[in-house]
Amino acid sequence: MYIDVAREKFEQIRNKEDMVILAIESSCDETACAITKGKEVLANIVASQIDIHKRYGGVVPEIASRNHIMAIQNCVDEALKQAKIQIEDIDLFAVTYGAGLLGALLVGVSYIKALAYAMQKPMIAVNHIKGHIAVNYIVNKELKPPYICLIASGGHTAIAKVDSYMDIEIVGTTQDDACGEAFDKVARVLGLEYPGGPQVQQLAKGGKASIDIPIPYKDIDTLDFSFSGIKTAVINYVHKMEQRGEEINKKDLAYSFQDRVTSIMVNNTIKAARKYGLKTIVIAGGVGSNEMLRQKMDIQSKKFGIKVYYPPVKMCTDNAVMIASQAYHSVLNGAEISDIDLDASATVKITDK
Ligand code: KG4
Ligand code: ZN
């Protein structure tokens, strides 16, 4: 039986610090394959579908799935070439099983199952959000739990107390939209292309905070977030100006929105670090590449003697190095491998395995 052979091979690498992992990520609009050896990245291939989805103003799930199918084999071939290794040299296969678009996830999961079965090697399922956090271990070798992590992506916004490589406690979360979702929607009303975050950031350059944007939970002591009121305030402002026939200062609007959203995220993250007495903050997820967010986090953290870690911009958005990194730490910390009945799951909690 596959699982017996896989378990036997897994026992041999369970404590192997330089294990070779091939990881696949296909949860949204990037088909990615990475190969790592211990904490070293041997290959990092990302085939982005952004140009395809731009035409529709956002990711179209069915189109994403089809493009993953077309791209996945090339990504793996490219990764093996870049890493200069053979498929036989891989110790462990890893894949994002959720959260994400179900059809898109299924491509990666089915592919890795077929590969692991054919090679009779172990495989492990990785939580996408835990991957976003874990990429920080690869790029900042000295980073270790415990710390406070701001998770800021297109689908999630939360503050996590990361107690170990496996255990995470959510201490603050959005009550409505994710911050990336707010960036994307605001970008759309400003007539900018998908994905909106980088476009809003670009437009905000040279702008100022001249437009009043509400502060959610102003008088409440909470680590939670709310972005839908902010998003609606921007949309209402645009409609009001259009009805009056007045010109909108788009630079100022982008700046005012970005300024408000980043301040909220930074304030809550610092508050969490102070509340739990932790001197390390980590930023994870696509919105984590936002320059204003990073600058504010650096400035505010310094005031309290807190050290901030974040990945380079291209490691903030979806990639497979992050999946390999979480797989690596999961294995060294007692995680179990998956059997051939492994399934994709569209909704996965940040705290799930
Ligand atoms: O983490 P990610 O790649 O995908 C998810 O797992 O959701 O995040 C994608 C999100 C998009 O909403 C995108 O607009 C946003 O990250 N984003 C940014 C920036 N770069 C990407 N938001 C603000 N500023 C940026 N520079
Ligand atoms: Zn992501």
On average, the pLDDT of the chain sits at 96
Q: Averaged over 89-95, what is the pLDDT?
A: 98
CA angle, residues 175, 171, 148, in degrees to nearest 5: 125
Q: Which atom of ligand 1 is nearest to the CA of 129?
A: 6
Mean pLDDT over 77-105 rounds to 98
Does the pLDDT at position 50 exceed 90?
no
Distance 57 CA to ligand 1 centre (A): 14
Cα separation, 155 vs 137, whole angstroms: 22
Q: How far is the CA of 317 from the centre of ligand 2 (A)?
A: 6
> Going by CA atoms, what residue is nearest to atom 23 of ligand 1?
197
On the question of pLDDT at 44 being above 90, the answer is: yes
Residues 6+ positions from 213 with CB-CB distance below 8 Å: 230, 233, 234, 256, 257, 259, 260
Q: How far is the CA of 279 from the centre of ligand 1 (A)?
A: 26
Ligand 1 lining (C-beta closer than 6 Å): 28, 132, 153-155, 180, 183-184, 195-198, 201, 285-287, 289-290, 317-318
Coil, helix or strand for 308?
strand
**For residue 28, what are its two tokens?**
């949204």
Q: Per-residue pLDDT tens for 255-302?
A: 999 999 999 999 999 999 999 999 999 999 999 999 999 999 999 999
Q: Which residue's entry shows tokens 């990504």?
A: 75
Integer Cα distance of 220 and 102 in angstroms: 37
Which residues are in the CB-under-5-Å shell of ion ligand 2?
Answer: 153, 318
Task: State in Å: Cα 76 to ligand 1 middle.
Answer: 24
Ligand 1, pocket-test mutation among 317, 318, 347, most atoms within 8 A of CB: 317
Please return the burial class of 12, using the count of CB atoms within 10 Å of its CB with bins 0-12, 13-18 and 19+. Answer: exposed
- Give residue 14 CA to ligand 1 midpoint distance, Å: 34
Name the pLDDT band for 57 (thresholds 50, 70, 90): confident
Give the whole-angstrom CA distance, residue 273 versus residue 263. 15
pLDDT band at 70 (very low <50, low <70, confident <90, very high): very high
Alpha helices in 173-290 (DSSP H): 179-189, 196-204, 228-244, 250-275
CB 2 within 8 A of CB 72: no
Give the whole-angstrom CA distance, residue 178 versus residue 244: 31
Secondary structure (DSSP) of 95-145: EEEESS-HHHHHHHHHHHHHHHHHHT--EEEEEHHHHHHHHHHHHSTT--S
Q: In what order do the strands lie in the sheet with 123-127?
A: 40-48, 30-37, 20-25, 92-98, 123-127
